[in-house]
Amino acid sequence: MPRELGQVKLVGAGPGAADLMTVRAMRAVEGAQALLYDALVSDEVLSLAPARCVRIQTGKRAGKTSMPQDVINALMLKLARRGLNVVRLKGGDPSIFGRSGEEKAYLNTHGVQVEVVPGVTAASAAAAQFGFPLTHRGEARRLLIATATSKDGVLVDTGWASAAEAQTTLALYMGRDQAAAVAQRLAEEGRSLSTPAIAIENAGRPEARAIPSTLGGLARALAQAAPSGPVILLIGDVAARADLPTAETDHLPRRARL
């Protein structure tokens, strides 16, 4: 008699802290028999998995060697065919640059049931942690979540006109090394280089750091700060509302307040 297929859950681990996960996400990890997790998932979150759970680190960190997507797909299918409850654990939200669509389509094609469990994304975590809104009446009436880089790691070609509108808050993922090119492209579309901008390193974690600047000065500010963790860029008037450390505490790491 053929073995019954296991289910795969594509779970958002949120920005780092376990208490920022949804209850459904926590329960999924606690019930996992196999866990495929990205490099940015915190040890605190991983500790929720059962001791006998199969754990496989898949990488998926910008600029670092990671497991190819087709290998990840094949692993999930292999584990599900063994009848295991598989959790594919991703930082942030699996539907925001998490390739959940590709993975779901692949597994569904092979008859595997998939559930997507959402999570707190980096833009929301960064804004909450540093005390500013992503939308604000009279300043920002839309939020645009985008990636700065294409599949080949170069600046994307399209979409800059909508990102340049003055009342748009632009949240750019995977844009740390493209800040200068982003500023140039937005300026070409009419966005002022004096627009407030802020880069948040390790959003949602206790060691999070804010790097405030303007659109025109963001690349230089990032070069001086030399962040080593994941960075999200937030561009728009609301960035000026960030609650930043005083001059006396600028040398200290920013503590999470979520």
* β 209-214/86-90 pair status: unpaired
Whether 67 is catalytic is no
Whether 90 is catalytic is no
Least confident of 103-117, 163-177, 187-201, 243-257: 243-257
The structural domains of the chain, with segments of one domain joined by +, span: 8-117, 122-249
Q: For the domain 8-117, what is the CATH superfamily, name and number?
A: Tetrapyrrole methylase, N-terminal domain (3.40.1010.10)
Q: Is the pTM of this model over 0.95?
A: no
Nearest CA among 208, 211, 158, 163 for reference residue 183: 163
- What CA–CA distances, in Å, run from 130 to 28, 171, 197, 199? 29, 15, 13, 11
Confidence band (pLDDT; 50, 70, 90) for 173?
A: very high
Options 9, 26, 60, 104, the catalytic residue: 60
Options 38, 76, 90, 93, the catalytic residue: 38
Whether 60 is catalytic is yes
Q: Mind listing the pLDDT tens digit for each residue in 21-76?
A: 999 999 999 999 999 999 989 999 999 999 999 999 998 555 556 789 999 999 99
Q: What backbone torsions phi and psi does residue 149 show, to the nearest 5 degrees?
A: -115, 150
Confirm or reject CATH 3.30.70.20 for domain 122-249, answering yes or no.
no
Options 21, 26, 76, 174, the catalytic residue: 174
